[in-house]
């Protein structure tokens, strides 16, 4: 672990929503029963970090409703600090529906006007931010509302004042905003971070080019260590003039790709928190992302540190 006086390895913030999904092969609206859980890139990441042995905190704004109570209770049970989560009676916790139907995965959001979309800078506790080594956020939060973007900018300024490293995953969601709306905002936020975690397809959209050399040229101009996900047959670290490639971790059975990116980011930040080099942290990220896709769930499939060590061959699995 990085050694200093701060209580948290990573703090993250954003929207966590209730999740409903059909049981069995029927799609939404086709009859049948629904199961419930919750999801959100930032809270997923916080759970992933806690399971990997890191100290993690999550905050955001939720409604005064049973969905919010379930989210907070589960996060707390997973070892994530939720002491700065906020609640409002003026708006509900957001909701999403997800289905796997006829070989296609679809997500439907009910988050317009949600409690999280009404988050404002005054809800942020500066001392909480300063008590973390790394602050992580995603472009999803920026897409929710102008006040959420103001909150991100405020948190960035607090990080700069307190010497907190900033991690940013653009997590581009074109159901929330158009690429024309997203591009200038996400590029602005990329300029502010210490760790930038885009996918290669996102880079094509952000830099408006298919030219790999041009994309990497633009990434080299950033002050951040950039980790590009899913480039050719692997993932690439862009660190000034250096390019380091780590290949995919091959798996025999892909069950569910939901949450893979969050597991990847959790693995990378866990590695950094444990004092790994950026290449070692990327190797851990590749492994944790691959482990997620071998099971079902937004966050349920995120591996523990013990499971990672077993996968590496460092500890044995005892069946009985």
Catalytic residues: 262
- Rounded to 10 deg, the angle between the 41-51 and 66-77 helix axes is 20
DSSP states of 100-141: EETTEEEEEEE-TT-TGGG--GGG--HHHHHTEEEEEEEHHH
Distance CA 290, CA 103 (A): 20
Distance CA 71, CA 66 (A): 9
Q: Which residue in 195, 13, 18 sits closest to 121, CA to CA?
A: 13
Query: Which tokens hold the place of 19?
Result: 């999740």
Query: Which tokens hold the place of 286?
Result: 């590749």
Nearby residues of 185 by Cβ (< 8 Å), 6 or more positions away:
139, 142, 149
Helix (H, G, I), strand (E, B) or coil at 246: strand
List the alpha helices (DSSP H) in the chain.
Answer: 41-51, 66-77, 126-130, 139-144, 146-162, 179-192, 200-207, 212-220, 260-273, 278-292, 305-312
Pairing state between β 195-196 and 225-231:
parallel
Distance CA 119, CA 117 (A): 6
> If you ran DSSP here, which 8-state letter would residue 159 be given?
H
Distance CA 69, CA 62 (A): 9
Distance CA 154, CA 132 (A): 16
């Amino acid at each position: 672990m990085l050694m200093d006086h701060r209580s948290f390895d990573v703090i993250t913030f954003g929207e966590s929503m209730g999740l409903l999904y059909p049981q069995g092969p029927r799609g939404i609206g086709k009859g049948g029963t629904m199961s419930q859980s919750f999801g959100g890139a930032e809270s997923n990441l916080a759970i992933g970090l806690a399971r990997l042995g890191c100290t993690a905190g999550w905050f955001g704004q939720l409604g005064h409703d049973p969905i919010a109570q379930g989210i907070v209770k589960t996060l707390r049970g997973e070892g994530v600090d939720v002491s700065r989560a906020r609640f409002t009676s003026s708006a509900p916790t957001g909701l999403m529906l997800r289905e796997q139907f006829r070989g296609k995965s679809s997500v439907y959001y009910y988050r317009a006007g949600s409690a999280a979309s009404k988050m404002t800078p005054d809800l942020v506790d500066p001392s909480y931010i300063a008590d973390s080594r790394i602050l992580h956020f995603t472009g999803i939060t920026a897409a929710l509302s102008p006040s959420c973007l103001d909150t991100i900018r405020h948190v960035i300024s607090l990080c700069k004042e307190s010497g907190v490293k900033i991690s940013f995953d653009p997590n581009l969601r074109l159901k929330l905003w158009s690429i024309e709306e997203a591009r200038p905002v996400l590029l602005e936020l990329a300029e502010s971070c210490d760790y930038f975690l885009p996918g290669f397809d996102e880079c094509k959209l952000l830099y408006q080019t298919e030219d790999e050399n041009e994309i990497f040229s633009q990434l080299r101009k950033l002050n951040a260590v950039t980790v590009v996900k899913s480039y050719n047959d692997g993932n690439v670290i862009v660190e000034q003039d250096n390019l380091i490639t780590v290949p995919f971790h091959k798996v025999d059975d892909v069950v569910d790709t939901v949450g893979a990116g969050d597991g990847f980011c959790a693995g990378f930040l866990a590695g950094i928190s444990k004092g790994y080099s950026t290449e070692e942290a990327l190797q851990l990220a590749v492994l944790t992302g691959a482990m997620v896709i071998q099971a079902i769930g937004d966050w349920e499939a995120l591996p523990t540190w013990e499971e990672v060590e077993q996968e590496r061959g460092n500890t044995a699995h005892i069946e009985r």
